[in-house]
């Protein structure tokens, strides 16, 4: 496993132009300088795989010293999840700042849609976070993928989400890219599980259909690793000789349960015959009221015209003389 820490190589000189996403102030802390973040060339293929769009960083005034805020915009929410697992410090603990958030002694890393937010040297309050998140443009709120990794025995902060060959080579070098089949729409998740006989990695590859998973099963078998297929999922443990009993137990816990949802008709007021009859009588009453009102209005005008001889023709009767 590759243990990466969330540190960008930040130049300590201000950029010539202001950042487009970073706020001018976070609460009472004003921005004092814009930094130039740079990703190491060795991990740039992974960032490209995650659809990296932009990374901005700045320093903000604080006591006893300034803190750094870094914003990374990725292709979608799944890519942000993968980046969060990858960049989360090994010593961090879950945080309540967001559904996907981890905090260390003086840092906070969290996900908002397709954005990865990292605070070094300061942990913002909830109102400050809400203001920052509300100002982010083009936020992707696509639902996150399901997690199929068992929780029992999982070592904290070892989860990884793999979306392509670059991250596969970094996190699961024992599995060939030909077996993974990312060109077929595969994605994978992995984690390290503790065993007295030797820690092992469980990787779960998710394919669009069970047929594709069945086809790729033969490619995985060529690697000689313990594996299992359940629906569109192919589970693999490595290294092969770490702990056969734990490997078999972990593979047995990965289960895919398909759920078929039948559209259910929800009755409305229009489906009740009693309401239909009542509404029909209401409509008749309205029409009668309109008719009565119109008759009284016309009759009142004629009566007014007849009184006092205001209109000599008011009492005139039209005769057709049809005899």
What are the residue ranges spanned by the domains of the chain?
1-142, 145-255, 272-301
> What tokens appear for 73 in the block?
């915009």
More confident position, 75 or 297? 75
Mean pLDDT to the nearest integer, 294-320: 71
Rounded distance between C-alpha atoms, residue 207 and residue 150, angstroms: 19
Specify which residues 68 forms β-bridges with: 59, 120
Alpha helices in 31-110 (DSSP H): 44-49, 77-87
pLDDT bin (cut points 50, 70, 90) of residue 316 is: low
**Model confidence pLDDT, tens digit, residues 109-167:** 999 999 999 999 999 999 999 999 999 999 999 999 999 999 989 999 999 999 999 99
Q: What is the pLDDT of residue 3?
A: 43
Specify which residues 35 forms β-bridges with: 57
Q: What is the pLDDT of residue 5?
A: 43
pLDDT bin (cut points 50, 70, 90) of residue 198 is: confident
DSSP letter, residue 307: G
**Model confidence pLDDT, tens digit, residues 205-244:** 999 999 999 999 999 998 888 999 999 999 999 987 778 8
Rounded distance between C-alpha atoms, residue 234 and residue 239, angstroms: 16
Alpha helices in 224-272 (DSSP H): 244-253
Quickly count helices (H) and strands (E) in the chain: 8, 14
Rounded distance between C-alpha atoms, residue 68 and residue 201, angstroms: 34
3-class DSSP assignment, residue 145: coil
12 has pLDDT over 50: no
Rounded distance between C-alpha atoms, residue 185 and residue 87, angstroms: 24
């Amino acid at each position: 496993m590759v243990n990466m820490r969330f540190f960008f190589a930040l130049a300590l000189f201000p950029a010539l132009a202001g950042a487009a996403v970073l706020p001018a102030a976070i609460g009472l802390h004003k921005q004092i300088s814009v930094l130039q973040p740079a990703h190491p060339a060795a991990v740039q293929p992974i960032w490209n795989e995650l659809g990296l769009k932009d990374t901005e960083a700045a320093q903000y005034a604080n006591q006893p010293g300034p803190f750094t805020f870094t914003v990374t915009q990725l292709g979608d929410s799944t890519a942000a999840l993968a980046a969060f697992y990858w960049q989360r410090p090994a010593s961090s603990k879950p945080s309540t700042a967001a559904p996907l958030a981890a905090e260390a002694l003086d840092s906070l890393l969290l996900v908002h849609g397709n954005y990865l937010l990292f605070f070094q040297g300061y942990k913002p309050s909830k109102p400050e976070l809400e203001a920052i998140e509300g100002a982010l443009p083009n936020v992707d709120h696509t639902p996150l993928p399901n997690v199929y990794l068992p929780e029992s025995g999982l070592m904290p902060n070892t989860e990884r989400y793999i979306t392509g060959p670059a991250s596969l080579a970094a996190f699961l070098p024992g599995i060939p890219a030909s077996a993974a089949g990312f060109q077929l729409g595969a994605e994978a998740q992995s984690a390290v599980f503790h065993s007295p006989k030797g820690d092992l990695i469980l990787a779960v590859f998710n394919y669009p259909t069970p047929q594709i998973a069945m086809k790729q099963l033969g490619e995985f078998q060529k690697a000689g690793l313990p594996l299992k297929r359940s629906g569109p999922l192919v589970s693999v443990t490595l290294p092969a000789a770490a702990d056969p009993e734990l490997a078999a137990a972990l593979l047995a816990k990965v289960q895919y349960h398909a759920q078929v949802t039948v559209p259910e008709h929800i009755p409305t007021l229009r489906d009740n015959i009693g309401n239909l009859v009542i509404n029909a009588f209401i409509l008749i009453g309205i029409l009668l009221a309109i008719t009565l009102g119109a008759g009284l209005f016309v009759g009142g005008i004629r009566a007014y015209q007849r009184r006092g001889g205001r209109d000599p023709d008011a009492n005139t009767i039209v005769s057709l003389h049809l005899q």
